[in-house]
Amino acid sequence: MSRIGRLLIAIPKTVELKIEEGTLKVKGPLGELLQKFHPSVKFEFDQSSRLLQVNVAEEEPKREALWGLSRTLAFNAVEGVVKGFSKEMEIHGLGYSAKVQGKDLVLSVGYMNPVHLTIPQGIKVEITQPTNPARFIIKGVDKQLVGQFAATVRSVRKVEPYKGKGIRYKDEVIRKKAGKAFAGGAT
């Protein structure tokens, strides 16, 4: 039996749920999400106690994995439309900057031309500090979409291990390497 799958999900009063075959539609104060699920996963919503329960048709190892995954996806959908998700990013490096132009995030990170990334629908980018170190926040209701866009932004200029220049998550720890002068030992 799945330890995660059997946990109940408390649904706030501000959230509307629609359970259809294979899909769960969640609507809340921040937006709306439609999540598709495997046909063996069944949802039961108790309107009086406002608890959502996730079940699977048969208990098999593959279905138990789907059970825990489906419960987590449903929980993330509810949390996303109520609180939202965000990733804080930093850009370290002399002359590196970030700005939003229309529907594009423009990154100047040491290349000959600035890098233009189209911001996906449902995502908001808020620049808190434009330069040295540039800081910005990626926000949205879909946890997967926020994380994927943050990873795409980070891949534009990964942090190099010698000086620490590049794009990173706010609390990311970068292990710096010693330079060439310190690597060898003086004999």
Predicted pLDDT at 183: 59
Burial class (CB in 10 A: 0-12, 13-18, 19+), 93: buried
Do 152 and 99 have their domain in common?
yes
Whether the predicted pLDDT of 181 surpasses 90: no
> In sequence order, which ranges of 7-142 are alpha helices (DSSP H)?
61-82
Q: Is 130 left (phi over 0), alpha (psi -120 to 50) or beta?
A: alpha
- For residue 36, the domain's CATH number is 3.90.930.12
Do 52 and 77 have their domain in common?
yes
Do 143 and 103 have their domain in common?
yes
Q: Is 155 left (phi over 0), alpha (psi -120 to 50) or beta?
A: alpha
Domain that holds residue 124: 85-169
Count of structural domains, the chain: 2
Do 66 and 101 have their domain in common?
no
Q: Is 65 left (phi over 0), alpha (psi -120 to 50) or beta?
A: alpha
Do 119 and 77 have their domain in common?
no
User: Which pLDDT tens digit goes with each residue over 41-72?
Assistant: 889 999 899 999 998 877 777 777 888 899 99
User: Which pLDDT tens digit goes with each residue over 126-176?
Assistant: 999 988 899 999 999 999 999 999 999 999 999 999 999 999 999 999 898
Do 90 and 26 have their domain in common?
no
Predicted pLDDT at 22: 85
User: Which pLDDT tens digit goes with each residue over 74-129?
Assistant: 999 999 999 999 999 999 999 999 999 999 999 999 999 999 999 999 999 999 99
Q: Calculate the alpha carbon distances from 129 to 132, 156, 177 in Å.
A: 8, 19, 28
End position of a domain, from candidates 55, 82, 109: 82
Mean predicted lDDT score pLDDT of the chain: 90
Burial class (CB in 10 A: 0-12, 13-18, 19+), 187: exposed
